[in-house]
């Protein structure tokens, strides 16, 4: 299934996410959506699902849809269940001879709609085995409502519900590892990725997710310039630093086998990832050095765990 | 044009049943290019057509045809500058204003 | 030819589902509606029907998946009760606003708290503003008949609204009664196939559903829903006419029982109407007093003018609610019936009583007392107990 990746060929395919949506300048979310939809084979039709969030309110603002394909938004917490209904309808209508074309089913949710409020619906849809892909564009907070913390928010992040202040160092808790949790559903495919170089990693994982029969989950780190507080043009650099520091390792779990997609030659200190972001500004105040050490420890611990899983 | 049929002056009878839309990609009618405060300028001479800028655009505003990138879609480009930063050949520069 | 059977309300609805053979049924168990998905799952397991059952992980997901399946172009339905429907709340509004012809078998049960599994109407009455058509039944026969009429109403091009087919928990859902079933071929012909004009899986045109609509569009959207609800009045009667031609059983917005010459009337919804009818028969036989009953079948859309006209000649009316709305006044049916009477400038004296909350029994004697109060009220014209709980223990 994995064909040789060629950026020029891939980019030559018709665009499936139209411009004119209202996402912020420099948004990582639509970069993720475009990349996933590019992995669809041209001859295949698709129904795109969407949890409420930035993407939904910006990409289907009545009467303007940004999608070339059929699209359904229902609510915040039920993208998994909603698309599972669409996918089931497809199976039965196809069996009854009412539909001839091939359809694929992909739903997008932010980390709010995926890690938190939509977690049950996602878990249920994956456990039931629907032939669909759930894509989380993870920007690590509830950005649509103004950067409130989510369970995907990294520790110490300054958000509007975990503000850093005289008595607070930002979010107290560490991040939930959703890709690992989804892998524990023993579904055929889980991938964690982001935007790197020529987008090969994301493309290959999206194609596997879409064309592996059964449920698949993709977790895509999708930086948010407003919520993270970095210069919008630095999107690709933010992703690179997330990966090179091993804050956001690239890996996949194929039929239960954990596979590391990329191992940095020289793992960068996590400071490199944290420093350009306003939400971590307070970590660089004199006297807070130990917080960065603590952050680094957590990154190291998870990276080691991942390496163990991938070497088994 | 969908905006001829449905717009802020439409009577309730013209609003589609259940707010459903039966056309693809109607968002193209909405010009987000007006948001721009700085504008990417493409230097065709310097461009080596590596296409690294194209997938990084959040606004699908770098059209590709016959495996070559074309001029920016200024109707929609919001001027975020990701393309300029990602270009290995300095073929894209940002200039102030629209 | 009708088929004579003895079935519970849940069995009757499950059998109707089997006869209709929808494409998709997502459901999550909750007492007292659990049997419906159980029966359907067993029909499917035994190869008796071609439907995809989705055993979802919650009622919220049940309605979400039903909505997705319906938008995709399938005929889709679900079943639930009480807190299950409360968990769907948000989705009820989305289904109606998206104009999706979903059908839900609702087995009415009291909402928590305290948790209680018995019949009252707090679940569906709470959802009365959600944009669903609501059809209530007195008996197993009625809930079966209503269910067969649900999709033709929902899917009518002038309607395109979800329909809730309600029956009282345990009393109707678990009580076994004689029932006349329509032959499956006739059901299939009556209900027909779903041929949606627009749907997600239409290869000829993509469809986008569920937009963010700013205030420039929201109000116009609601007005569109209102029009569909108005259209539903006509369609409900047309479908009832077709149903009568098939079965000989006649349905309207409501049933009038001994109402034509009645001086004292009770307005009620659901299974308690059967007990009320027994009281009417007893009173008329024993005393000759002109008592009658108006039993609501269609609560949404609300048949305001028709109810007022049917009650125009009545001297005193008791509207009986099987759910609280904590206005510290009356209940939802009371409020709406009184508004209808007011608008029609009807002169009857009206009281609004609560009964049967959380499955509390209401007896023939209770109804006799209510009629007695109405008689007193119409002679004294002084209402001393406008809002009362029937069967409530007091100090």
Question: pTM for this structure?
Answer: 0.97
**Residue B98 confidence (pLDDT):** 87
CA distance C216 to chain B (A): 6
CA distance C273 to A265: 79
pLDDT-derived band at C381 (thresholds 50, 70, 90) equals confident
Residue A277 backbone dihedrals phi, psi, to 5 degrees: -105, 130
Asked if residues A91 and C50 have their Cβ atoms less than 8 Å apart, the reply is: no
Residues in chain A within 8 Å Cβ distance of B27: 18-21, 59, 61, 64-66
DSSP annotation of C270? S
Residues in chain C within 8 Å Cβ distance of A81: 26, 56, 60-62, 64-65, 68
- For the segment C161-168, the average pLDDT, to the nearest whole number, is 98
Query: What percentage of chain A carries pLDDT values higher than 70?
Result: 99
Contact call for C209 and B18, based on CB within 8 A: yes
Angle between helices A28-38 and A200-211 (to 10 degrees): 60
ipTM of the complex: 0.97
Please check the confidence at residue C1 and state whether its pLDDT lies above 80: no
Query: What percentage of chain C carries pLDDT values higher than 90?
Result: 98
- For the segment A261-273, the average pLDDT, to the nearest whole number, is 98
Q: What is the pLDDT of residues C173-198, one digit of tens each?
A: 999 999 999 999 999 999 999 999 99
Q: Do the strands C103-108 and C163-168 form a parallel or antiparallel pair, or are they unpaired?
A: parallel
DSSP annotation of C212? B
Residues in chain A within 8 Å Cβ distance of B61: 19
Task: Give residue for tokens 């456990």.
Answer: A127
> What is residue B71's three-state secondary structure?
coil
Which H or E run includes C291? Answer: strand C291-296
Contact call for C73 and A121, based on CB within 8 A: no
Residues in chain A within 8 Å Cβ distance of B21: 60, 62-63, 65
Angle between helices C9-20 and C140-154 (to 10 degrees): 30
**Residue B89 confidence (pLDDT):** 98
Q: What is the pLDDT of residues A94-152, one digit of tens each?
A: 999 999 999 999 999 999 999 999 999 999 999 999 999 999 999 999 999 999 999 99
Q: What is the pLDDT of residues B19-61, one digit of tens each?
A: 999 999 999 999 999 999 999 999 999 999 999 999 999 999 9
Asked if residues C108 and C119 have their Cβ atoms less than 8 Å apart, the reply is: yes
- For the segment A159-179, the average pLDDT, to the nearest whole number, is 98
Q: What is the pLDDT of residues C243-288, one digit of tens each?
A: 999 999 999 999 999 999 999 999 999 999 999 999 999 999 999 9
User: Chains contacting C with at least 3 CB pairs below 8 Å?
Assistant: A, B
CA distance C53 to chain B (A): 26
Q: How far is CA A279 from its chain centroid?
A: 20
**Residue A3 confidence (pLDDT):** 63
pLDDT-derived band at A1 (thresholds 50, 70, 90) equals very low
- For the segment A191-205, the average pLDDT, to the nearest whole number, is 98
CA distance C199 to B72: 35
What 3 state SS string does chain A have? Answer: CCCCCCHHHHHCCCCCECCCCCCCCCCHHHHHHHHHHHCCCCCCEEEEEECCCHHHHHHEECCEECECCEEEECCCCCHHHHHHHHHHHHHHHHHCCCCCCCEEEEEEEEHHHHHHCCHHHHHHHHHHCCCCEEEEEECCCECCCCCECCCCCCCCCCCCCCCEECCEECCCCCCCCHHHHHHCCCCCEEEEECCCCCCHHHHHHHHHHHHCCCCEEEEEECCCHHHHHCCHHHHHHHHHHHHHCCCCCCEEEECCEEEECCCCCCCCCCHHHHCCCHHHHHHHCCCCHHHHHHHHHHHHHHHHHHHHHHHC
Contact call for B23 and A27, based on CB within 8 A: no
Please check the confidence at residue A2 and state whether its pLDDT lies above 80: no
pLDDT mean across residues, chain C: 97
Closest alpha carbon to B18 in C74, C101, A22, C75: C101
Which of A12, A21, A25 lies closest to B67 in CB terms? A12
**Does residue A31 have a cis bond before it (omega within 30 degrees)?**
no
A59 contact C CB<8A: no
- For the segment C135-149, the average pLDDT, to the nearest whole number, is 98
């Amino acid at each position: 299934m994995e064909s040789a990746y060629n950026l020029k060929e891939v980019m030559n395919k018709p665009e499936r996410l139209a411009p004119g949506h209202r996402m912020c300048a420099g948004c990582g979310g639509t970069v993720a959506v475009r990349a996933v939809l590019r992995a669809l084979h041209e001859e295949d039709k698709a129904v795109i699902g969407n949890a409420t969030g930035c993407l939904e309110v910006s990409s289907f603002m009545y009467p303007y849809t940004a999608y070339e394909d059929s699209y359904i938004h229902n609510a915040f917490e039920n993208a998994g269940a909603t698309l599972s209904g669409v996918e089931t309808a497809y199976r039965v209508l196809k069996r009854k001879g009412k539909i001839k074309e091939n359809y694929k089913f992909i739903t997008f949710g932010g980390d709010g709609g995926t890690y938190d409020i939509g977690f049950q619906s996602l878990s249920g849809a994956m456990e039931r085995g629907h032939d669909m892909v759930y894509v989380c564009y993870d920007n690590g907070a509830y950005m649509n409502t103004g950067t409130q913390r989510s369970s995907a928010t990294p520790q110490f992040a300054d958000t509007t519900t975990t503000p850093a202040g005289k008595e607070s160092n930002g979010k107290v808790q560490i991040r939930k590892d959703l890709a690992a949790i989804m892998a524990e559903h023993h579904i055929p495919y889980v991938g964690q990725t982001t935007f790197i170089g020529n987008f090969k990693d994301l493309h290959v994982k999206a194609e596997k997710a879409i064309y592996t029969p059964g449920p698949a989950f993709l977790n895509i780190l999708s930086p948010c310039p407003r919520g993270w507080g970095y210069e919008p043009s630095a999107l690709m650099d933010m992703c690179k630093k997330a990966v090179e520091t091993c804050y956001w390792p690239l890996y996949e779990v194929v039929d239960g086998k954990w596979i590391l997609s990329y191992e940095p030659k020289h793992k960068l200190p996590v400071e490199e990832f944290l420093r350009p972001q306003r939400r971590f500004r307070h970590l660089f105040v004199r006297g807070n050095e130990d917080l960065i050490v603590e952050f680094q420890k957590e990154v190291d611990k998870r990276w080691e765990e991942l390496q163990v899983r991938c070497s088994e | 044009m969908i905006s001829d049929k449905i717009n802020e002056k439409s009577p309730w009878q013209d609003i589609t049943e259940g707010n459903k839309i039966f056309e693809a990609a109607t968002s193209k009618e909405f010009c987000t290019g007006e948001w721009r405060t700085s504008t990417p300028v493409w230097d065709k001479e310097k461009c080596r057509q590596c296409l690294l800028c194209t997938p990084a655009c959040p606004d699908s505003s770098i059209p590709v045809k016959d495996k070559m990138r074309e001029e920016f879609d200024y109707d929609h480009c919001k001027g975020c500058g990701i393309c300029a930063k990602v270009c290995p050949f300095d073929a894209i520069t940002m200039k102030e204003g629209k | 030819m009708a088929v004579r059977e003895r079935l519970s309300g849940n069995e009757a609805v499950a059998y109707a589902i089997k006869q209709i053979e929808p494409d998709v049924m997502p459901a999550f168990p909750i007492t007292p509606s659990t049997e419906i998905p159980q029966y359907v799952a067993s029909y499917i397991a035994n190869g008796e029907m071609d439907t995809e059952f989705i055993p979802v992980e919650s009622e919220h997901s049940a309605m979400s998946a039903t909505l997705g399946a319906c938008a995709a172009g399938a005929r889709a339905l679900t079943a639930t009760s009480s807190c299950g429907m409360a968990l769907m709340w948000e989705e009820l509004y989305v289904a109606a606003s998206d104009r999706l012809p979903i059908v839900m078998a609702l087995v009415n049960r009291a909402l928590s708290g305290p948790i209680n599994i018995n019949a009252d109407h707090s679940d569906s009455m709470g959802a009365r503003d959600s944009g669903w058509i609501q059809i209530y039944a007195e008996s197993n026969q009625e809930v079966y008949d209503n269910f067969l009429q649900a999709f033709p109403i929902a899917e009518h091009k002038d309607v395109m609204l979800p329909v809730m087919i309600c029956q009282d928990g345990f009393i109707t859902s678990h009580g076994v009664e004689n029932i006349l079933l329509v032959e499956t071929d006739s059901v299939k012909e009556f209900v027909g196939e779903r041929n949606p004009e627009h749907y997600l899986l239409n290869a000829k045109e993509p469809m986008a559903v569920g937009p963010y609509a700013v205030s420039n569009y929201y109000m116009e959207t609601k007005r569109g829903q209102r029009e569909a609800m108005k259209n539903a009045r006509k369609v409900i009667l047309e479908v009832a006419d077709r149903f009568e031609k098939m079965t000989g059983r006649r349905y309207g917005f409501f049933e009038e029982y001994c109402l034509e010459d009645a001086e004292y009337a009770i307005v009620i919804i659901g299974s308690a109407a059967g007990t009320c009818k027994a009281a009417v028969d007893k009173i008329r036989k024993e005393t000759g007093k002109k008592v009658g009953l108006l039993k609501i079948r269609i609560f949404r859309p609300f048949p305001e003018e028709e109810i007022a006209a049917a009650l125009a000649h009545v001297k005193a009316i008791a509207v009986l609610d099987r759910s609280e709305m904590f206005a510290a006044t009356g209940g939802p049916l009371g409020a709406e019936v009184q508004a209808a009477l007011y608008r029609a400038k009807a002169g009857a004296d009206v009281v609004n009583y609560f009964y049967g909350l959380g499955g509390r029994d209401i007896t023939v004697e209770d109804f006799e007392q209510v009629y007695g109060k109405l008689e007193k009220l119409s002679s004294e014209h002084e209402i001393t107990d406008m809002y009362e709980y029937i069967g409530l223990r007091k100090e």
